[in-house]
Amino acid sequence: MKKATMILLLNASLLMLVAIIAAAVYAAPVFTYSLLGICLLSLLYILTEKWTTHNAAEFENRFWTSIACLLAYNCVFTKDSPVKFPADQPVLGWTVVIVFTYLAHIYDRHLRRVVLSRIPKIRRIESAEFPSEHRANAKHKLGELRRLLNSIDLRWMSSTFQVRARVVPFVVPRH
């Protein structure tokens, strides 16, 4: 494709996007501006990759969970939302917001686990053959590591909400 054709296609796409946003603002201004604010907040978060808010996967999970909550709240409770729930059923609306937020939270954690559990394809070297007792020992240790990992990383609950009992030694003061 020629450079001029690509530029024309890009300009036409941007013009169409502006027209869609203008029509959305005309039809539902509060809802559209809220969506644009959520998009802007997400873009700013993505552009600040080097900040401390990206230091841990849990921080990122909390951010995307919060964005999902804002999006669900905007869709359910904004007065000019196309999917607004009736005002006489706030419990149903809050249930939808909480369920949507939790599903986004779990999905983000699932994606992180998929990335971390990928096994690299390492070419096997002939001289690296181990006796069967070493392989059995390695499999046992791998099973133990998975068991320990599963005990601290619950699949359905974030570590944010897990309460761990801390053992504090009690020392009796001597007089």
User: Over pLDDT 90: what percentage of the chain?
Assistant: 29
Give the tens place of pLDDT for each residue, 115-168.
877 777 777 666 566 677 777 887 888 888 778 777 666 666 665 555 554 444
Helix (H/G/I), strand (E/B), else coil: 40 = helix
Instruction: Extract the runs of DSSP E, i.e. beta strands, from the chain.
Output: none
CA distance 32 to 77: 13
Range picked from 4-13, 15-24, 47-56, 96-105 for highest mean pLDDT: 96-105
Nearest to 154 by CA among 84, 92, 105: 105
CA distance 37 to 43: 10
CA distance 58 to 116: 14
User: Higher pLDDT residue, 88 or 68?
Assistant: 68
Q: Where do the domains of the chain lie? A: 30-117
State the chain's mean pLDDT as an integer.
Answer: 81
CA distance 50 to 143: 35
Distance of CA 148 to the CA centre of its chain: 24
Confidence at residue 160, expressed as pLDDT on a 0 to 100 scale: 55
Q: pTM above the 0.85 mark?
A: no
Q: Name 45's Cβ contacts closer than 8 Å, sequence gap at least 6.
A: 53, 63
